[in-house]
Structure 1
Amino acid sequence: MNSAFYSTTIAVHTGRRETVKDLTGDCEAFLAANGARDGLLNVFVPHATAGIAVIETGAGSDEDLLDALADLLPRTDRWRHQHGSTGHGRDHVLPALVAPHATLPVIAGRLALGTWQSVLLVDTNRDNPDRTVRLSFLG
């Protein structure tokens, strides 16, 4: 059995607002550009204040996710980790709830996602408008 490993990073501008960015197209383009067949795609954000989620988008779920995170992790001065904007400490807790990675099956060169699933970068950190995401395929 021959195995392949491909890895790259992509730059993602998230701006100065809490946001959910759809990375599905970037993931699919990476797989296609490398001729990926069957294997696993790992999506990793090497930042202490962002995460990767696999959920539905476009029907309000992305905004619901941000609202739920705001309820769970309020942007107040209650956090011990205090530098940057008010409530920035919550951003450092985010990866405990939204992991900084996801590993996804790839079948015949395509992400094996459910009908409504998308691969998303979740970024609540208003102090860092630019992110790096690492895509790694093993097949």
Structure 2
Amino acid sequence: MAGTFTTRTLTMATGATETMHDLTHACSAFLREAAHGRNGLLNVFTPHPTSGLAIIETGAGSDDDLLAALRGILPADGRWQDRHGSPGHGGGHVLPALVPPHATLPVVNGELELGTAQSVVLVNTGRDSPERQVRLSFLG
């Protein structure tokens, strides 16, 4: 049987502050509809210059630690060459070099293969747009 490709775009409200949104349940729901028990790959992509995707433990403090680390590395101040948008916005444009805008994950028997306590999260440092898109694509 030839491989199949299925894709969907999610839109989520991210508000006007730096945030992390757990996408794990949305990824699993998409795979229930798209994978039909097959093996393959799930690609997750966000097309925004101030957002990235991380595989990280959530709820135990690691998510807050990641945001704090990013604030330390990419402070919202006037040091950035890129000065469009709100003050300090330029640092957010460096985010995808540290937290990439994509992740490709294994799908086994139609289910996302993550390690213990791992979650798929959207990391958003942009404060100028209250909404973000994430594209989920299954190839199997």
How far apart, in 1, do the equivalents of 2:96 and 2:12 lie? 18
Structure 1: 5+ residue stretches without partners:
none
How far apart, in 1, do the equivalents of 2:116 and 2:139 lie? 23
Aligned partner of 1:7 in structure 2 is 7
Task: Report the alpha carbon displacement of residue 75 of structure 1 after superposing the two structures with TM.
Answer: 0.8
TM-score, normalised by the number of residues in structure 1: 0.97
Do residues 93 (structure 1) and 102 (structure 2) align? no
How far apart, in 1, do the equivalents of 2:18 and 2:103 lie? 20
Aligned partner of 1:43 in structure 2 is 44
Aligned partner of 1:119 in structure 2 is 120
CA change 1:30–1:37 in 2 (3 A) is same
Aligned partner of 1:27 in structure 2 is 27
For the 8 Å contact 1:36–1:137, the answer to whether it is kept is no
Letter in 2 for 1:32: R
State how 1:54-133 maps to structure 2 within 5 Å.
Answer: 54-133=55-134
TM-score, normalised by the number of residues in structure 2: 0.97
Q: CA RMSD in A?
A: 0.8
Task: Report the alpha carbon displacement of residue 2 of structure 1 after superposing the two structures with TM.
Answer: 2.5
Secondary structure (helix, strand or coil) at the match of 1:69 reads helix
Secondary structure (helix, strand or coil) at the match of 1:136 reads strand
Q: State the identity %.
A: 61
Over 4 Å off, 4+ runs: none
Letter in 2 for 1:117: Q
